Each structure stands twice: as structure tokens, then as C-alpha cells.
Amino acid sequence: DAGVTQSPTHLIKTRGQQVTLRCSPKSGHDTVSWYQQALGQGPQFIFQYYEEEERQRGNFPDRFSGHQFPNYSSELNVNALLLGDSALYLCASSDQQAPYSPLHFGNGTRLTVT
Amino acid sequence: GENVEQHPSTLSVQEGDSAVIKCTYSDSASNYFPWYKQELGKRPQLIIDIRSNVGEKKDQRIAVTLNKTAKHFSLHITETQPEDSAVYFCAATLISGGYNKLIFGAGTRLAVHP
């Protein structure tokens, strides 16, 4: 039973560019959340997708957008990259029918913006 | 806004000693409080969690206590071992209708010395 998988594992981009990160949730999970973890900090909630719609959003600008596909996988897109966007981006999945079950995190994508 | 404060930021103990990490949350509606352990370069993994209808929960060497009135919760690790060395994050959220946006603390770096 595969857990949460994310791709790519590492990415280097230049300021102003755009990036797309991908996530496949744990088998049986239908809800995907994205978190940004800056170095030495706790993860910060970006947004959550369920039934292919964004239903919760953290304090992130519109440059951050996402998508969920019918197979529950998800993408995170960041436009007009800034140096401050350099971070570990974590995807977490959960089951809508079992909200108290733990979030399962992927290994993350480390994004470096130069 | 929602906020979780975590102390201390670093904690150094001798093997066999106890370690205590404390968190305070701002949103009195929060009803679920998980703790995650993150080893270097790895994903956050849930180690224990507690719901607001319970004051204490224990799992072998790990325990969590919750004081809803004071909006405090704490992680207790007894008989620490070198493999307990990692960064620990507390989090809080209101789980309602499948929504489970976690607000994380900034983390505590625990070092257990043999």
C-alpha cells in the first residue's frame, strides 16, 4: 500500500519562473492538503482540496494555486517565483469520512529559487 | 488569527531523562491536537494525538496532556533514547465536516545524548 508520493524531490528555479509540484495521496484517501515548510520552521497550511475543489485556504497569495484530479491526485502551482518561496513543500492526504484519522505526509519537494 | 506557540525551541537531555515540550493555542474552538516527529530530511510522522474531550493520553513512553481552559497542551517523553532525537511539532485544529487545517508550532529540536 503506497503512501503519499510527491514529485519531483528537488527542484531549482529562477525568480519569476513558474513551478508545478505533484502529489498522489495514500490509497483510500480523497482529501489533499499542501503545506510550505521554510527552513527551521513548522509547516504552514497553503490550501486543501476535496472533490476537485479548493475548500480551505491559508494566508498565501494568489500566485499559489492548485488542482485536484478525479483520481484524487493533486498539483500545486506557484507563479512568479520569489526567493522567499524557497522551502520544502509537503503534501498530506486524509480521508473525508474519517476526519480524526492522522494526516499522512509525503516526503516533500524541496524548491530552491535563485 | 490562529496561532500555536511552542517552547522550547531546542532541548538537550541525557539518555534516560524525561523531556517536556509545551504548546499554547489561540483558537478556543480547536478540538484536535496532534504531535509530529520529523527526522532530518524526512516527512513529519504522527507520534500521538489528543481530542478536546480527553485530558491525557499515553502511549508507552509518550504522553500528551491538554488543558482546554488555559489552551495549553504538552508532550512528555520518558526514558529518552538517542533515537528520540528529532524535531517535534505540535499542531492544533478545529475538525468539522472533514475540514482539518493544521496550525503548527515552530518546532522543538530535541537532542538526546548517550
Q: What is the pLDDT of residues A67-93, one digit of tens each?
A: 999 999 999 999 999 999 999 999 999
Residue A103 pLDDT greater than 80, yes or no: yes
Residue A99 pLDDT greater than 90, yes or no: no
Q: What is the pLDDT of residues B40-92, one digit of tens each?
A: 888 999 999 999 988 999 999 999 999 999 999 999 999 999 999 999 999 99
Residue A112 pLDDT greater than 70, yes or no: yes
Give percent above pLDDT 90 in chain A. Answer: 89
DSSP symbols for A6-43:
EE-SEEEE-TT--EEEEEEPPTT--EEEEEEE-TTS--
Number of other residues whose CB lies within 10 A of the CB of residue B16: 11
For residues A23-50, give the mean pLDDT.
95
pLDDT band, very low/low/confident/very high, at A97 (cuts 50, 70, 90): confident
Q: For residue B105, what are the contacts with CB-CB under 8 A and spacing of at least 6?
A: A42, B4, B5, B6, B23, B89, B90, B91
Evaluate whether A78 touches A66 at the Cβ level (below 8 Å).
no
pLDDT value for A1: 58
Q: What is the pLDDT of residues B7-33, one digit of tens each?
A: 999 999 999 999 999 999 999 999 999
Inter-chain touch B100–A94, beta carbons under 8 Å: yes
Whole-number Å distance between alpha carbons of A93 and A4: 7
For residues A34-44, give the mean pLDDT.
95
For residues A4-9, give the mean pLDDT.
97
Contacts with B, A 11-40, CB within 8 Å:
31, 33, 35, 40
Which of A42, A90, A96 minimises the CB distance to B106? Answer: A42
Helix (H) or strand (E) holding A49: strand A44-50
Which of A58, A94, A108 minimises the CB distance to B43? Answer: A108
Q: What is the mean pLDDT of chain A?
A: 95
Q: Does A106 touch chain B (CB under 8 A)?
A: yes
CA distance A97 to chain B (A): 7
pLDDT value for B1: 66
pLDDT value for B25: 97
Number of other residues whose CB lies within 10 A of the CB of residue B21: 23
For residues A12-36, give the mean pLDDT.
97
Within 13 Å of residue A17, how many CA atoms lie on the same side as its CB? 13
CA distance B48 to chain A (A): 9
Query: A-B interface: how many C-beta pairs under 8 angstroms?
Result: 66
pLDDT value for A38: 95
Within 13 Å of residue B108, how many CA atoms lie on the same side as its CB? 27
For chain B, the distance separating the N- and C-terminal CA atoms, rounded to the nearest angstrom, is 41
Q: Which residue of B has its CA nearest to A106?
A: B43
Inter-chain touch A59–B1, beta carbons under 8 Å: yes
For residues A2-13, give the mean pLDDT.
94
User: DSSP secondary-structure letter at B76?
Assistant: E
Q: Does A58 touch chain B (CB under 8 A)?
A: yes
Residue B96 pLDDT greater than 90, yes or no: no
CA distance B107 to chain A (A): 6
Inter-chain touch A108–B104, beta carbons under 8 Å: no
pLDDT value for A98: 82
Report the residue of B42, B100, B104, B108 to disrupt the A interface, i.e. the one with the largest count of A CBs within 10 Å.
B100
